Chain A
């Protein structure tokens, strides 16, 4: 049988330029997990509903199981591994720990990436909005109670950070 044709793909992941020759059907999540060994991005379903795979592509939250790696040609991709600055956690990561927003941790990377996107788009949404925004992220462990609290706190922290930056 003929070799499956491969195509060249180049993008920036967590600030590093990466490139590879991939089968055209390779999903972004496969490239991240298997190609780059960034296993923090998880796969929890096969119908694009659980959100365990959420990463940022050019600043927007994207389900990496629903996009081909080749569609990210030239894109800036950020995964959970790229969210902290060195040892300094992102405020949303801190908020999840502080408010016990995770148990088994499997949904957590996707939750945090979704939450950061939420904060960037909506600032400090109310509880009702946070819950509606989480429609695409399933957690089986926490009952969402503490995830909602964590996101609320994380959004406020991020907003404070922006104020600080604006003031400087």
Chain B
């Protein structure tokens, strides 16, 4: 390993600008003469718009334009789309209700977009919006996930029973048969609480129209600018792709919420031509709570069939997934192919059958949030196996070991083919780091202080590196999920890498450069990673689902292979040797068995000067592109162990210990990987203990600020204990599995298994806030006293 190559904890290149305040986030972009957009949002969860009068607003000071759904329709601007088709059990297509960027006659959630006001200043736009007169006929709201299908009110005409689809996976008959033969059946009811992603940088957009070119530019907080351009162009109809440039500059966190194409950027870019000025929109935090796509929101009943020895026979799951008022960009894939395909966990389960009903409610749209479906699957599998162990009087670690998949490749009953792993190794290592042996003593010691101490495991698996294009196409995806790269070697030997991936905290400018530095022997400071601008970078699919290492870097590897192959040809001419005799190592081309060599930078220069080789055989220049389509998902897995201590008098929970041992395959930069794990765990602990989006029965979001929605703070969390095991991923050239989501996937189950262990009952729901925990602790104490 070199000091900057693969496996080295290189300090990040991007940090210099962030620690000095010179990052360029979308809101930092200022365009000459830009004006401000303000969206009038629905105060009602469900209402018909009887009258919408914008005359007074149009005449308000500073206002340049007021637009409604009618204006978009008049310009043939289409609605927002959902790009993944799901079919119900009966073969029917999912019921996608129309999703206009500005309401057309009806609003369906608090925060839904009624009109936009564009003015010289934001204050004038807000003041203008106050002059819009809207007569709403308020309709009953459908809020409850589990009750949506039985509600008398219907959100979309196309969707009877508010049902988007009724989907199923697995072998029903085999599963029923296994349950018939079971020695023990564990049943569990779980709610996976609705979360708000809360990237610290709120969403933002600036649209600008250049009449000379007849072209638009959109700066936006996006994880995938090319996909945004494609959707805005081909489906929404803003402009042809060659007349629309999308730039995602520095992006302040995404966690999924910035994958999607929203109403606000659509309207901002469209309106820039209407008003003849660049239009800027920046979300405030309240708007973010109301209108960013939320995450999770499942209600699940699951049953696990076991034989007398604790071998799992089958798993049966029924989930109702709340997708909110409209289908967001990838929402339909989350509770289906990203969820139920992971229900086998790390276990060899002969039969699985899962049904998922997706429903509409009068709440913000729900889509992918860090982990996207996989945290929900892990929560089901890991909660039910822990519960089964307790019911059967078995040690939860032993029960897991008995059921681990041991042979690879392993075909699960729910599509996935696990390619590599060693689940026993990560469990053993985590138990050692967490000192599980000493837990009994710690528990007794805590009891002496009046505290309840509990320990919980989560041996999770996830699928990353999404994904082989044909496979996802056959499952309903509207796009392929390959990635692209171009490696441009400059005449002086410095290198630009244009990647279709996008970074919003992951540190690609460093990790991708590490790969290039190792391969070409070029120093880190001579390598630039370029991303996030559709005018600079070839089409790419963007960053989500922990795919940028496994898929994005694999594309770079392919491009580097081509660069090396061509450079060898040039070097052969320079060294007057046969191409087959040229070796490339440490930035030098050498003639095998001699000391004749030429440096990479000299080869680059000669490639461009083109004096010393026949250009009829070798084209001048040194620049290669590649598209990489993965051959399989990757399967990061590991074991997280959480220890909690609860004060039954106050309900306050302390995370006393948190251990994570993960197998991500080969690590490019361990420092960055650890950071990803830390952040994921914090979000997972947040889901378990503090966070939850709450709507009241009328559809008002009660948790629309940091006063009400409890983000985990530094003093809610401990320092984490991390470890790694490694099985190389056989499905990509670097052996990478991906690490971005593991923490958020593993942690909720680990924490809740610890909470239920401490409290001695399974009836503890997320978020286990002090009030909720206090209630459980009190009733447990009463129960104990009565016995």
Contacts and interface: CB of A to CB of B under 8 A. Distances in A.
A97 B672 CA distance: 12
Given A81-B21, A146-B675, A132 B30 contact: no
Q: Name the residue among B12, B20, B682 with the largest chain A CB count within 10 angstroms.
A: B20
Interface in A25-46: 33, 37-46
Contact of B675 (A132, A142, A148): A142
A143 interface: yes
B720 interface: yes
Interface in A123-146: 127, 130-132, 134-135, 137-146
Interface string B398-433: 000000000000000000000000000000000000
A15 to B, nearest CB: 15
B719 A107 contact: no
30 contacts: A38-B21, A40-B21, A40-B23, A42-B27, A44-B201, A46-B284, A83-B20, A89-B19, A100-B11, A100-B12, A100-B674, A102-B15, A102-B18, A104-B250, A104-B504, A105-B14, A105-B19, A105-B505, A106-B23, A131-B714, A132-B714, A139-B200, A142-B675, A143-B717, A144-B682, A144-B717, A145-B717, A146-B674, A146-B675, A148-B719
B30 A46 contact: no
A96 B714 contact: no
Interface string A91-114: 001001110101111111100100
A103 B779 CA distance: 43
Interface stretch (A47-55, A66-74, A158-166): A47-55
Nearest to B250: A105
B714 A106 contact: no
Contact of B706 (A45, A103, A147): A45
Contacts of A18: none
Contacts, number: 177
Nearest to B127: A1
B200 A44 contact: yes
A84 interface: yes
Interface string B21-44: 111110110100000000000000
Given A47-B706, A143-B681, A104 B200 contact: yes
A125 B244 CA distance: 52
A153 interface: no
Report, as a range, how many residues of chain A touch the other chain. 35 or more
Nearest to A95: B19
Q: Name the residue among B200, B286, B717 with the largest chain A CB count within 10 angstroms.
A: B200
B61 to A, nearest CB: 5
Interface stretch (B139-147, B251-259, B603-611, B762-770): B251-259
Interface string B489-525: 0000000000000001111000000000000000000
Interface of A: 1, 33, 37-47, 49-50, 52, 79-81, 83-84, 89, 93, 96-98, 100, 102-109, 112, 127, 130-132, 134-135, 137-149
Given A47-B707, A138-B711, A79 B199 contact: no
A143 B679 contact: yes
A97 B679 contact: no
Contacts of B719: 127, 145, 148-149
Interface string B626-638: 0000000000000
B11 A104 contact: no
A79 B19 contact: no
A147 B679 CA distance: 11
A45 B199 CA distance: 11
Given A46-B286, A140-B255, A135 B25 contact: no
A69 to B, nearest CB: 15
Contacts of B61: 1
Given A47-B285, A144-B717, A80 B253 contact: no
A150 B712 CA distance: 19
Contact of A93 (B12, B20, B286, B674): B20
A105 B707 contact: no
Contacts of A41: 21
Contact of B679 (A81, A98, A140): A140
A139 B768 CA distance: 21
Given A50-B200, A103-B506, A143-B717, 19 more contacts: A45-B706, A46-B705, A47-B707, A98-B11, A100-B671, A104-B200, A104-B201, A104-B251, A105-B252, A135-B713, A140-B199, A140-B679, A141-B505, A141-B675, A143-B683, A143-B720, A144-B714, A145-B675, A148-B714
Nearest to A107: B200
Closest A-B pairs by Cβ, 5 of them: A40-B21, A105-B18, A106-B252, A143-B682, A104-B505
Interface in B710-743: 711-715, 717, 719-720, 743
B202 interface: yes
A151 to B, nearest CB: 9
Contact of B705 (A47, A93, A102, A131): A47
